[in-house]
Structure 1
Amino acid sequence: MSFLPNIIFAIVLIVGVGFFAKNVKKIIRNIKLGQDVNRTDNAGARWKNMALIALGQKKMFTRPIPAILHFALYAAFIITQIELLEIIIDGFFGTHRFFKESLGGFYTFLISFIEILSLLALTATIAFLSRRNLLKLPRFNKAEMLGWPTKDANLILIMELVLVTCIFTMNGTDEVLYSLGKSHFEGTGSFNFAVSQHLGPALFGGMSEGALHILERVGWWGHLLMVIAFLNYLYFSKHLHIILAFPNTFFADLNPKGKFDNLESVTNEVKLMMDPNADPFAAPANPDAVPAKFGASDVQDLNWVQLLNAYTCTECGRCTSSCPANITGKKLSPRKIMMDTRDRLEEVGKNMDANKGVFVPDNKSLLNDYITPEELWACTSCNACVEECPINISPLSIIMDMRRYLVMEQSAAPMELNAVMTNIENNGAPWQYNQQDRVNWRNEE
Structure 2
Amino acid sequence: MNYIPNILFAIALIIGIGYFANNIRKLFRNIKLGQDVDVSDNTSQRWKNMINIALGQSKMVKRPVSGFLHVIVYVGFIIINIEVLEIIIDGLFGSHRIFSELLPTSVYGFLIASFEILAALVFVSVVIFWIRRNVIKIQRFWKAEMKGWPKSDGNIILYIEMILMALFLVMNATDTAFQSMNSGNVISQFIAPLFSGLPEVTIAVIERSAWWLHILGILGFLNYLYFSKHLHILLAFPNTYYGKVKPKGQLDNLVAVTKEVKMMMDPDADPYAAAPEEDADEIPAKFGASDVQDLNWVQLLNAYTCTECGRCTNECPANITGKKLSPRKIMMDTRDRLEEVGKNIDANKGVFVDDGKQLLDDYITREELWACTSCNACVEACPVSIDPLSIIMDMRRYLVMEQSAAPMELNNMMTNIENNAAPWPYNQMDRLNWKNE
> Fold-level match, TM-score > 0.5?
yes
Residues 292-334 of structure 1: per-residue CA shift (max 9 Å, x gap): 2000000000000000000000000000000000000001000
SS at match of 1:99: helix
Corresponding residue for residue 132 of structure 1 = 133
How many angstroms does 1:436 deviate by? 2.5
On the 8 A contact 1:108/1:191 being kept in 2, the answer is: yes
On the 8 A contact 1:109/1:193 being kept in 2, the answer is: no
How many angstroms does 1:204 deviate by? 1.6
Q: Distance in 1 between matches of 2:51 and 2:342?
A: 31
How many angstroms does 1:206 deviate by? 1.6
Distance 1:206 1:30, change over 3 A: same
Indicate the RMSD between aligned Cα atoms, in angstroms. Answer: 2.0
Partner of residue 255 from structure 1, selected from 221, 246, 253 = 246
Q: Structure 2 stretches of 5 or more lacking a match?
A: 274-278
SS at match of 1:382: coil
Partner of residue 323 from structure 1, selected from 305, 310, 316 = 316
1:332 aligns with 2:314: no
Distance 1:158 1:49, change over 3 A: same
Partner of residue 195 from structure 1, selected from 183, 187, 198 = 187
Corresponding residue for residue 93 of structure 1 = 93
Corresponding residue for residue 39 of structure 2 = 39
Corresponding residue for residue 55 of structure 2 = 55
On the 8 A contact 1:100/1:107 being kept in 2, the answer is: yes
Instruction: Give identity over the alignment, percent.
Output: 64
How many angstroms does 1:420 deviate by? 1.2
1:71 aligns with 2:71: yes
Give the letter for the 1:197 counterpart: Q
Corresponding residue for residue 146 of structure 2 = 145
On the 8 A contact 1:298/1:366 being kept in 2, the answer is: yes
Runs of 4+ in 1 over 2 A off after TM superposition: 176-179, 188-192, 264-278
On the 8 A contact 2:290/2:398 being kept in 1, the answer is: yes
On the 8 A contact 2:256/2:283 being kept in 1, the answer is: no
How many angstroms does 1:264 deviate by? 3.8
Distance 1:275 1:435, change over 3 A: closer
5 Å-filtered alignment, 1:153-232, equals 153-174=154-175, 176-178=176-178, 188-200=180-192, 202-232=193-223
On the 8 A contact 1:177/1:209 being kept in 2, the answer is: no
How many angstroms does 1:147 deviate by? 0.7
Distance 1:402 1:189, change over 3 A: closer
How many angstroms does 1:192 deviate by? 4.0
Higher alpha-carbon deviation: 432-441 or 11-20: 432-441
Residues 382-402 of structure 1: per-residue CA shift (max 9 Å, x gap): 000000000000000000000
On the 8 A contact 1:76/1:114 being kept in 2, the answer is: yes
On the 8 A contact 1:46/1:250 being kept in 2, the answer is: yes
Normalized against structure 2, the TM-score is what? 0.94
How many angstroms does 1:268 deviate by? 6.3
Q: Distance in 2 between matches of 1:242 and 1:359?
A: 29
Residues 416-443 of structure 1: per-residue CA shift (max 9 Å, x gap): 1111111122122222111222211222
Q: Distance in 2 between matches of 1:356 and 1:277?
A: 45
How many angstroms does 1:290 deviate by? 9.4
SS at match of 2:202: helix
Q: Distance in 2 between matches of 1:8 and 1:291?
A: 55
Q: Distance in 1 between matches of 2:409 and 2:415?
A: 10
Corresponding residue for residue 4 of structure 1 = 4
Normalized against structure 1, the TM-score is what? 0.92
Corresponding residue for residue 184 of structure 1 = none
Corresponding residue for residue 183 of structure 1 = none
Partner of residue 438 from structure 1, selected from 414, 431, 434 = 431
How many angstroms does 1:291 deviate by? 5.3
Residues 6-46 of structure 1: per-residue CA shift (max 9 Å, x gap): 00000000110000000000000000000000112121111
Corresponding residue for residue 17 of structure 1 = 17
How many angstroms does 1:102 deviate by? 2.2
Give the letter for the 2:238 counterpart: P
SS at match of 1:58: coil
1:411 aligns with 2:412: no
Q: Structure 1 stretches of 5 or more lacking a match?
A: 180-187, 279-283
SS at match of 1:197: helix
Give the letter for the 2:126 counterpart: T
Q: Distance in 2 between matches of 1:365 and 1:205?
A: 61
Corresponding residue for residue 229 of structure 2 = 238
Give the letter for the 2:6 counterpart: N
Higher alpha-carbon deviation: 232-241 or 97-106: 97-106
Corresponding residue for residue 276 of structure 2 = none
SS at match of 1:423: helix
Residues 74-114 of structure 1: per-residue CA shift (max 9 Å, x gap): 01110011110100011111111111122221110111101
Q: Distance in 1 between matches of 2:431 and 2:103?
A: 81
Give the letter for the 1:259 counterpart: Q
How many angstroms does 1:262 deviate by? 1.0
5 Å-filtered alignment, 1:81-120, equals 81-104=81-104, 105-120=106-121
Give the letter for the 1:38 counterpart: D
Distance 1:285 1:37, change over 3 A: closer
Corresponding residue for residue 185 of structure 1 = none
How many angstroms does 1:269 deviate by? 6.5
Q: Distance in 2 between matches of 1:378 and 1:233?
A: 35
Q: Aligned residues, how many?
A: 427
